[in-house]
Amino acid sequence: MEEAAKHTYIIDPENAGELARLMQQDRLLTEGMGGLFPEGQQLPEGGRVLDLACGPGGWDLEVAFHYPHVDVFGIDISQQVIEYARAQAQSRGLENAHFQVMNVMEPLAFPDSSFDLINGRLLCGFMLPEAWPRLLKECFRLLKPGGVVRLTEMESPLTTSPAYEHYFHLGTQALKRAGQSFSPDGGHVGITPVLPRLVRQAGFEEVRLRASVIEWSMGTEGHYPVFKDALIFLELVQPFLIKMGMGTREELERLYQQAVAEMQQEDFCALWNLLTVRGRKPGTSDEATS
Structural domain total, the chain: 1
Q: pLDDT band for position 285 (50/70/90)?
A: low
Can you name the residues that pair with 210 across neighbouring β-strands? Answer: 276
Q: Say which amino acid occupies 77.
A: I
CATH of the domain at 129: 3.40.50.150
Angle ∠(234,236,85) on CA atoms, nearest 5: 115
Answer yes or no: are the C-beta atoms of 41 and 70 closer than 8 Å: no
Q: How far apart are CA 239 and CA 149, in angstroms?
A: 33
Q: How far apart are CA 268 and CA 93, in angstroms?
A: 42
Q: Which range marks the domain in which residue 145 is found?
A: 16-36+43-281
Task: Report, as an integer, the average pLDDT of 197-209.
Answer: 98
| In-domain check, residue 288 | no
- CA distances to 13, 28, 36, 77, 105 from 206, in Å: 35, 28, 20, 31, 25
Question: Is residue 121 helix, strand or coil?
Answer: strand
| In-domain check, residue 189 | yes
Average pLDDT, the chain: 93
| In-domain check, residue 111 | yes
pLDDT digits (tens, 9 = 90+) for 132-171: 999 999 999 999 999 999 999 999 999 999 999 999 999 9
| In-domain check, residue 160 | yes
Burial class (CB in 10 A: 0-12, 13-18, 19+), 271: middle
| In-domain check, residue 8 | no
pLDDT digits (tens, 9 = 90+) for 216-251: 999 999 999 999 999 999 999 999 999 999 999 999
Q: pLDDT band for position 8 (50/70/90)?
A: confident
Q: Which helix (H) or strand (E) holds 144?
A: strand 143-154
| In-domain check, residue 6 | no
| In-domain check, residue 118 | yes
Other C-beta atoms lying within 10 Å of the C-beta of residue 217: 15
Directed axis angle between helix 16-32 and helix 223-236, to 10°?
140
| In-domain check, residue 155 | yes
Answer yes or no: are the C-beta atoms of 187 and 174 closer than 8 Å: no
Q: How far apart are CA 89 and CA 99, in angstroms?
A: 9
Q: Is pLDDT of 30 > 60? A: yes
